[in-house]
Structure 1
Amino acid sequence: MKTAFAVAASLIAINPALASEDITDQYPGSPLYQKPVEFIPNVWSAIGATAPPTYENNGHNNNLSFIVTGDGVIVINGGAAYVLAKALHDEIKIITDQPVKLVINENGQGHAMLGNSYWAEQGVPILAHVDAAEAFEDDGAQSLQQHQRVLQEKAEGTTLVGPTETFEGARTIEMGDYVIEVLHLGPAHSPGDISVWLPKQSLVITGDMAFHERLLPIFEDAITADWLETWDTEFEALGATYVIPGHGHPTNMDQVRRYTRDYLVYIRGKIGEHIDAGGDLTDAYYVDQSPYAHLDTFEELATKNAGRVFEQMEWE
């Protein structure tokens, strides 16, 4: 007999209508794109838009999750803005009297770290992988400028604040009723990507290791061969039952495998065929990606992804 959690995960996985980049805001009473939902007991997530960051969605286009441990709250992602971090904290205060004791940044991108300015103001420690901290130090000013252009007056209060502590490899946190493993599994979407693993609950909060409702972006430093190796050798080994991805609704491993690992295999296969046929970069942008055309952000990302994979595979 399925548990209620398994049923919920199944319903989310088969109902893509739950997410749409055409809906600008699903929680008008808050800067958050959606009201936080409890996926399994004490594990919550405010699901962001599957669209790029906009003024209308307040830059909330990734998932802001938190765990109510019984002895404090752990937040996963600082958020893309001061206003978003504060809005998340307001929701946490409605749910529990337990204080926020730790914020974990999933990587060094703006949507993970720009909201640190709020959490630091509250005196909350902020943890990130050392590579993510370095990436934010290098690129944070550019992320902030982009954020300010998009959010305009909504960017008020957002400043550059990096993590207060870093780690390499893994960090285990015991708090309340939970053992929480913060894992850097290897190269994936961006420097310092981490996944938060709850072994007792068989739940992983993946960060940008895994996507399923929107097309994943391949950045210059996202080496697809390395991402696949990390997935196959480390991420799959977790054997997670429940998955909260970096973007999109909570789901299961089958869904994120289909739209992350299998997409990477697919696009590398198409580009490989193109290279073998003597194709160049100009035509590589237009290899067939139609099996994934239904995903949000496909129009924004498909051709860019193909070009970056060509540039990588040309020299492999």
Structure 2
Amino acid sequence: MADKAPDSFLYSRPEKVTDGVWSAIGATQPHTYENSGHNNNLSFVITDGGVLVVNAGDNYLLAKSLHDEIRELTDQPVKYVVLENGQGHAMLGMTYWQDQGVPVIAHVDAAREIEENGPALLAQLRQRSRDKAFRTRLGTPDKTFTDRLELTLGGETIEILNLGPAHSPGDIVVWLPERKVVISGDVAFHERLLPVFEDTDTAGWIETWDRFVDLGAEIIIPGHGGPVEGYEEVTRYTRDYLVYMREQVAKILDAGGDLNDAYQIDQSAYAHLDTFHELSRRNAALIFQEMEFEALGF
């Protein structure tokens, strides 16, 4: 994929989603040196009382590039940075923001993930990004929460919510009730195939989806891919994909099948999505293993 902002660490510059809400849409592909680790969405909300940023970015210089763009749009200072989870492209840039005096907020489970996996993620970044990892170091979130954290900026209420299990531990959404906008992080996917990890709770994610829909958002900024109006598209490529895969795996288990059968699940309805070839077989294997453990009562 061609870099849309070749003179910036950002893969693409921020685009206006609605009044006061912007997002720099990342590449819908794996991390590469060329995209500088900008393969997720870096979003922000501008209010009369300051700016809230969602995702610290994959590295120090990428975070600085985003901050430079924010300064072009507003004189309001960045007051908070929220991490969508504990993955590297969400959190490795946090020390840039902390060096500017901006507190970083994360769910308690995301903070635990950063503590446990941070050194390995930093090592991977340095190997992958080489010179682009300059000044990047590990940080620790300044504030953590469990279910809900409410902030007020410029008289506007901003809700940071953990709705339940989803893509990875500590996934949160940022809900702007007055604007009917939700920045969903990795709770919602489209344009690229969602990845299943070893610690992904696919059954729990399906249940969480109902609470996500109950927010009643009119605009959704997903973790990857451009903003959408309403839930139809992200439901098709998130909840419906998970339901389909679990149904297919259940049939295999009921028939006494094995992992090789899971690899043969027909996922062609999703083959047009980016990262399909990298993730489809892996997803099938991990969901099969997850449901094997469920059948054993784990």
TM over 0.5: yes
Q: Does the aligned pair in 2 maintain the 1:24–1:49 contact within 8 Å?
A: no
The CA deviation at 1:282 is 2.4
| 1:241 aligned residue (193, 218, 222) | 218
Which residue does the alignment assign to 1:36?
14
The residue type equivalent to 2:47 in the other structure is: T
Q: Per-residue deviation at 1:177? A: 4.1
* Structure 2 equivalent of residue 259 of structure 1: 237
Partner of 1:181: 159
Q: Normalising to structure 1: TM-score of the pair? A: 0.91
* 1:147 shift after superposition: 1.0
Aligned length: 293
Residues 1:294 and 2:272 are matched in the alignment: yes
* 1:54 corresponding residue in structure 2: 32
1:90-105 aligned at under 5 Å gives the runs: 90-105=68-83
Letter in 2 for 1:285: Y
Which digits, 9 at most, give the CA deviation of each residue in 1:228-280, with x for residues without a partner?
A: 11112x11111111000011100131111010000000111111112222210
- The list of structure 1 runs, each at least 4 consecutive aligned residues, that deviate by more than 3 angstroms after superposition, is none
Q: What does residue 156 of structure 1 align with?
A: 134
Hey, what's the Cα distance between the residues in 1 that align with 2:249 and 2:95?
41
Aligned counterparts of 2:291 and 2:271: Cα–Cα separation in 1: 23
Match of 1:14 in 2: none
The 5-angstrom pairing of residues 134-283 of structure 1 reads 134-232=112-210, 234-252=211-229, 253-283=231-261
**2:105 partner SS:** strand
Q: Kindly indicate whether the alpha-carbon contact (under 8 Å) linking 1:188 and 1:230 is maintained by their aligned counterparts in 2.
A: yes
Task: Report the Cα distance in structure 2 between the residues aligned to 1:177 and 1:261, rounded to whole angstroms.
Answer: 34
How far apart are 1:283 and its partner, in Å? 2.6
The aligned residue for residue 120 of structure 1 is: 98
Distance in 1 between residues matched to 2:265 and 2:157, nearest whole Å: 45
Q: How many percent identity over aligned positions?
A: 58
1:315 Cα deviation from its structure 2 partner: 2.8
2:192 counterpart letter in structure 1: R
Q: 1:11-58: CA deviations, max 9, x gaps?
A: xxxxxxxxxxxx131111211000100100010000000000000000
TM-aligned CA deviation for residue 161 of structure 1: 0.5
Give the counterpart letter for 1:81 in structure 2: N
Say which is worse superposed, 275-284 or 40-49, in terms of deviation: 275-284
Q: Does 1:132 align with 2:110?
A: yes
- Ranges in structure 2 where 5+ consecutive residues have no aligned partner: none
Looking at structure 2, the residues matched to 289 and 276 of structure 1 have their Cα atoms a distance apart, in angstroms, of 20
The letter of the residue matching 2:73 is I
For 2:266 and 2:120, the matched residues in 1 are separated by 33
Partner of 1:7: none
Please give the alpha-carbon distance, in whole angstroms, between the structure 2 residues aligned to 1:207 and 1:40. 17
* Structure 1: runs of 5 or more not aligned: 1-22
1:113–1:162 Cα contact (<8 Å) kept:
no
Aligned partners of 1:147, 1:27: CA distance in 2, in Å?
21
Task: Supply the RMSD in Å over aligned alpha carbons.
Answer: 0.9
Q: CA deviation at 1:207?
A: 0.6
Q: In structure 1, the residue corresponding to 2:293 is in which secondary structure?
A: coil
Partner residue, 1:85 = 63
How far 1:286 moved relative to its partner? 2.2
Tell me the distance in 1 between the aligned counterparts of 2:140 and 2:37: 19
The aligned amino acid for 2:68 is D
